[in-house]
Amino acid sequence: MRFTKVFRLACLSYLGAIAAGNFIPDGCAAKKVVVATKPAVPVEEIAPTGDLGEDTERLNALHPEYKLAGNDLVALTRMLYFEDAGDRLLHGDAEQKKGYAAVAEVIKNRLFFDICSADAAVQNPTCGREKVQRMYDGDKGLAAIIEQNIVRNNKKIYQFTSQSDFSEYFTVASLARGMNYLVPKKVEGKIVKDTKSKTVSVPVFDEKQIALAYSALLGVLEGNIDPLTDGALSYKNSGTSSQVWDDTEIMKVSILDCSVLRRKVDKKARKAIQEGKAECRIEQSYVHDFTQKIGSHSFYTLEEGERREVVFDNSRGNAFVDGVYEKGLSSRRYNP
């Protein structure tokens, strides 16, 4: 059963079940990035993009959940740049800005999903439970979402490959240089120098693209850009990834609550439930659902997948599995 559009507006991934805890969806970790060609622009001609301090303060006042600090806006803008700059399917500045905004929207959606915000585009199905299942480290703020990683074989694997493939551009030293500046290139351990002026040559981002990405980021975080992805929590580059995401599992939720049963059981089982002599176990999976394609990126939200309901009538030692009666089945013997 698919979420309705109204439900999405009211309210990534392992490809298998995700239990409690913060894990990285493999699909996101496998995404490719496109790096725009860096023009040869002298450092002295590069102007700062926006007032980072004022923008940070304003955005935190608007949504304290953003928890922006230091050079977080620089990191977020660079992430948008590496994820979407140079997309051949986006023509002109307006379309390119739309591509950046769509990626920024996913970050915002993940944050609000994790913290069960009233502004969430998609409802986290574990909201209201004693322990909310957070998927993206959103409770730690926006910057934590793009920094989220897991360690496998002593190596960090990031959701967004710009954090690993271009990690030098996300170091404290690099981010401190400002919006447009990169770290000095090195050759055989030595900083590359201009042989004529004998000065250090500092490479730069594409200033125009950085400005577009930053403008898109602010527009999304301020709410001035209308939603583009219909509640997307994930995306992939369709031109470089052959993975099939539709209906692949994002998360699984276990529910021990008889009040949310959807399948019918007989009168005796209903009575056992009412008398507290029954045990209910519901396993609900949630899967990727395609929403939009913007440039080279396909976007996906979350919808209900397979659901299994088991009611153990302890008073009789029987059970109902998805509404089907099974004699002599107890919770101890049940092995799905």
pLDDT in tens, 35-84: 333 343 333 333 344 589 999 999 999 999 999 999 999 999 999 999 99
pTM greater than 0.85: no
Whether the predicted pLDDT of 304 surpasses 80:
yes
What's residue 74's pLDDT?
96
Average predicted confidence (pLDDT) for the chain: 80
pLDDT digits (tens, 9 = 90+) for 100-151: 999 999 999 999 999 999 999 999 999 988 889 999 999 999 999 999 988 8
CB contact at 8 A, 313 and 261: no
Name the amino acid, one letter, at 137: D
Percent of residues, the chain, with pLDDT higher than 70:
76
Task: Give the Cα separation of 320 and 330 in Å (integer).
Answer: 10
What's residue 95's pLDDT?
96
What's residue 31's pLDDT?
34
Q: Which helix or strand (DSSP H or E) is residue 27 part of?
A: helix 26-29
**137: number of Cβ within 10 Å:** 21
Q: Which helix or strand (DSSP H or E) is residue 7 part of?
A: helix 5-10
Residue 155, beta-bridge partner list: 152
Name the amino acid, one letter, at 265: V
pLDDT digits (tens, 9 = 90+) for 218-258: 999 999 999 999 999 999 988 777 778 888 999 999 998 88
Structure confidence at residue 332 as a pLDDT band (50, 70, 90): low
Whether the predicted pLDDT of 88 surpasses 60:
yes
Task: Give the Cα separation of 214 and 256 in Å (integer).
Answer: 45
